[in-house]
Every structure is written in structure tokens, then in C-alpha cells.
Amino acid sequence: MRRLTAPLAALVVTLALAAPTLACGGLIGPNGAVNLLRTTTLAGYHDGVEHYITAFQFAGGGGKFGSITPLPGIPTSVVRGGDWTLQRLVRETNPPSPLAFEAAGAADSRAIVLQQVRIDALDITILKGGGAEIGVWAKDHGFSLPPDAPEVLDFYANRSPIFMAASFDADAAAGRGQAVGDGTPVHLTIPTKNPWVPLRILALGKTAIETIQADVYLLTDDRPALLPDPGSKLSAGGLKLTHSDAASAQLLTDLRTDKGMEWVPQSAWLTKIEIDAAASTLRFDLAIDASGAGKPSLRDAGFAPFGPLPAPPSWTPLWVMLLAVSFAIPLGGARLLASAARNGGGTPLAG
């Protein structure tokens, strides 16, 4: 299965026989086939505003496809994204080899429509409503939702009733001269206290044993605290921290010069998380505390009582504790012991 790069995920559903790639999600064809192609997305956070940039890639065919993406808040703008931001991020964390360079050359009520924007061949609608309302809106607009959609929509709507529905008109894309593989970047500006990245929706419509693979890029003012902690082998839940470092000045300059990317600060922290998890286990989201308080929210991550799974263990594994004790006693390190015990609580969590 190809890797899918995706922070804000898409609930992907189909209307016809085309095969455009929608950001951050699986593409469920009318015959039940699921196609995944590589896309790139960034969730940047600066001055209390999340900048969500993703691309909808045209993969040929005709007809219409749709996707629904849960959002942490109401966007103040939905515009066409810059031209090279996503590609530049991939290059930053996956520098191509010189050889590659050469080779490459509502239930009873209805969902409220907050915004409607047309970007290239994409019709984007920002919606507000409960899970049932969003589901009915999607059904009324020709989206074919998979059987796990009712539960997944409630999972998100109970925490944030804002969704982005994107309808991709493959015929229009072909009419515009878009070639297979061409992407349409979309940039959403979302004021929010703390960003979060919906991961569970990546598993929408997948069987339990299917593997979900995705890359998540975060650009924050400081090193973020995350839940689940992708740096912990014990509790990562299929998430792996593959890049965590101060963003280079060159990267930030490059990003800032792209269209609509003036918000990129002078200094920032770049995080990349790779997801490799069975669909049955990916039943949570990625909570981010970019405030420096180090308290990623249980609610934002969708752990119990806000979701089906309990939060992963946050204490230090037993073997780490035993190792600390074995060193501490010979050294007479009562202070070290006390310190290990104090640190046993792991990352504090916020409800």
C-alpha cells in the first residue's frame, strides 16, 4: 500500500467512476476497491491560528467524488494553497539522492452551510452540525457513506461540529486540462486554541485488518506535546516520530515565500509523524499542545470518555523504573530514585 501523507484526514466517499485522489483519506470506489495515492498535508500553528494545507490530486477518470474532513473550528478563509509548500516539506524530511535528482529531473434538523468555495475542480463546503445532520447532508448531496460513517461522524461531531465537504469534479478537472497527478492545494485558516489532527477518519470504510499509512507534518512555534506520544514505543499506537527539530531558516524562508504563507514565523519547530497502524486500532486522533504547557487534551485525541479507547498508559514502563533503581541504589542515589518516581507520571494530560 502506498503511503498517504495526511494531517487533517478525509472521509472519502464516491459518486461515480472517476478516480481523483482526495487528501488524507482512502478512496472507496463503487466496486468497494480502495485506492490510496500519496498526498501531502501540513498543519501549521502560529498565533492561535491553524493553517491547514492539503492537496487534492487528480488521478484521472470522470464523474464526481467527495470527501468530508472534520475540522477543529470554523475557518476564516478557504483559499487555493501555495504552489510549493507541500513539496518543500517533503523534500526537507526526505531529501532526494543526487541520483534521484538526475532521474527525476441532521437528524431532524439540517446541517448549516457556513461557506462554499470553488477552487479549480473542487467544490468545498464548510458545514456545521451533528453527526446525523452531516450524514444526511452528505447523503442528500450524493455522497455514499460506508457503514462505519455514523459512528465516526458522531465521534467527531461530539467534539467539533465543523466539517469540510469537498466534491471533486473529475470531468471539470479534465476540462481544465489538469493532467493525472496534478494537485489542487487548499489552504484553510482556522482560529483555534490548540490544533488537533484527525487520524481515525483515515480508517473510515476500511476493514479491520487493512493497514493505514500516513505522514503528518506539524509546524509549531515550539516543540509540541502530543497525545498519543509518537516517541513512546509503549503508547504510540502505530505512530512513529521520524522528525523533530527546529525548522531550518532556509525551510522557513522557502515556505514564507509561497503564496499565502506569509504567516510562517521566523522560528518554528518541525515535526513529522509516520502512521502505520491497522484500521481497527486507529480509533483516536492526534492531540497537540502547542502552548508549551505540555498538556495535550484527552478530548482532542478522542480518548475515553470522548471516544471508544482509553488513553494509552502515560507512566514510565516498568523496565525503565527497574533500570533506574538498579543504578540508583549502588550509587546511593536516593535523589535519583525520587526523581525517577516523580517522573513516572509521564506527560500530564488535560481533559
Partner 1 sequence: MRSAALALLLLAGLAAGCTSDLSPRRVEIHIHYSHFDPSQLSVQRGVAVTFVLINEDPIDHEWLIGDAAFHERHRTGTEANHGARPNEISIAALQTVETTLTFGSPGTLHYICHMPGHEAYGMVGTLTIT
Q: Are 38 and 3 in contact (CB under 8 A)?
A: yes
Instruction: Provide the minimum distance between the beta carbon of 110 and partner 1 in the complex, in angstroms, as a whole number.
Output: 11
User: Between residues 155 and 284, which has the closer beta carbon with respect to partner 1?
Assistant: 155
Strand ordering across the sheet containing 64-71: 11-14, 64-71, 162-169, 122-128, 112-119
Instruction: Provide the minimum distance between the beta carbon of 206 and partner 1 in the complex, in angstroms, as a whole number.
Output: 10
Instruction: Provide the minimum distance between the beta carbon of 169 and partner 1 in the complex, in angstroms, as a whole number.
Output: 23
* Pairwise CA distance, residues 106 & 137, whole Å: 7
Is the peptide bond preceding residue 305 cis, with omega within 30 degrees of 0?
A: yes
Q: Are 6 and 89 in contact (CB under 8 A)?
A: no
User: Between residues 139 and 176, which has the closer beta carbon with respect to partner 1?
Assistant: 139
Retrieve residue 313's grid coordinates.
498508559
User: Between residues 145 and 288, which has the closer beta carbon with respect to partner 1?
Assistant: 145
Retrieve residue 252's grid coordinates.
522557513
User: Between residues 151 and 222, which has the closer beta carbon with respect to partner 1?
Assistant: 151
User: Between residues 145 and 324, which has the closer beta carbon with respect to partner 1?
Assistant: 145
User: Between residues 153 and 239, which has the closer beta carbon with respect to partner 1?
Assistant: 153
User: Between residues 139 and 335, which has the closer beta carbon with respect to partner 1?
Assistant: 139
Binding site for partner 1 (CB under 8 A): 32, 106-108, 131-136, 138-139, 145-151, 153-154, 205, 207
Instruction: Provide the minimum distance between the beta carbon of 6 and partner 1 in the complex, in angstroms, as a whole number.
Output: 22
* Pairwise CA distance, residues 261 & 245, whole Å: 20
* Pairwise CA distance, residues 180 & 7, whole Å: 23
User: Between residues 133 and 215, which has the closer beta carbon with respect to partner 1?
Assistant: 133
* Pairwise CA distance, residues 269 & 247, whole Å: 5
Bridge partners, residue 184, by sequence: 56
Q: How many residues does the chain have?
A: 351
Instruction: Provide the minimum distance between the beta carbon of 65 and partner 1 in the complex, in angstroms, as a whole number.
Output: 16
Instruction: Provide the minimum distance between the beta carbon of 324 and partner 1 in the complex, in angstroms, as a whole number.
Output: 44
Give the CA distances from residue 275 to residues 88, 191, 282, 338, 348, in Å, rounded to whole numbers and listed in that order.
20, 26, 9, 35, 23
Phi, psi (degrees; rounded to nearest 5) at 56:
-105, 115
Instruction: Provide the minimum distance between the beta carbon of 68 and partner 1 in the complex, in angstroms, as a whole number.
Output: 12
Please provide the DSSP assignment of 266-308 as one string. SS-EEEEEEEEEETTT----EEEE-SSS---BHHHHT-TTSSS
Instruction: Provide the minimum distance between the beta carbon of 75 and partner 1 in the complex, in angstroms, as a whole number.
Output: 23
Collapsing DSSP to helix, strand or coil, 320 comes out as helix
Instruction: Provide the minimum distance between the beta carbon of 150 and partner 1 in the complex, in angstroms, as a whole number.
Output: 4
- Position 60, amino acid: G
User: Between residues 133 and 258, which has the closer beta carbon with respect to partner 1?
Assistant: 133
